[in-house]
Amino acid sequence: MKHASTGSYPVILLIALSVAAVISSAVMLYGIFSEQARLITPKLAFVQFEIGILMVIAFATIIVMSVGIELTNALFGTMFKVDVLEEDFGPIWPFNISVLCFYWAAICVWMRIVIQGTYDFILDKHYFSESSNMPIEMAVNTR
């Protein structure tokens, strides 16, 4: 690579978000295996936060692409070297970022649905186990 198109802020932000994602995923996995629903809520909160951030970035890049280079420099100039991005990726680089953000947000919505289902299953399992005093196990019918 002949020159970098980002400053240090995006790298630090990505590292911090990656560490938070790994920690919340580890807590979630422990919560699933130990059947403690309250340990799944940090991952739900992180995924919701991630969806919000991705949508804000996607909308900002669409608006920036519509308005022009002056707003692009004003919004993204502190984090990226806009002239280098224009040279490397062409004038539609904000569109590419918005497409990636929308795609990743859709994956996050799907993950949130799966995680919420796991959370609800654990809560239901505890509720029905306590009310009937019989353990609930998953069974497979082979007729």
Across 94-111, average pLDDT: 94
pLDDT at residue 94, rounded to an integer = 86
CA–CA dist 130, 114 (Å, integer): 25
pLDDT at 132 over 80: no
Q: Tokens for 45?
A: 């909160």
Total Cβ atoms within 10 A of residue 89: 14
- Our measurement of the distance from residue 127's CA atom to the centroid of its chain's CA atoms, rounded to an integer in Å, reads 30
| pLDDT-based confidence at residue 91 (cuts at 50, 70, 90) | confident
Q: What is the mean pLDDT of residues 18-41?
A: 94
Tokens found for residue 84: 């280098």
Please check whether residue 123 is in contact with residue 37, taking contact to mean a CB–CB distance below 8 angstroms.
Answer: yes
Average pLDDT of the chain, as a whole number: 86
How many C-beta neighbours within 10 Å does residue 37 have? 17
Give the pLDDT score at 111: 96
Q: What is the pLDDT of residue 32?
A: 93
Per-residue CA distances from 87 to 64, 71, 92 (Å): 17, 17, 11
Q: Answer whether residue 53 shows pLDDT above 90.
A: yes
Give the pLDDT score at 143: 66
Q: What is the pLDDT of residue 38?
A: 94
- pLDDT reading at 4 higher than 90: no
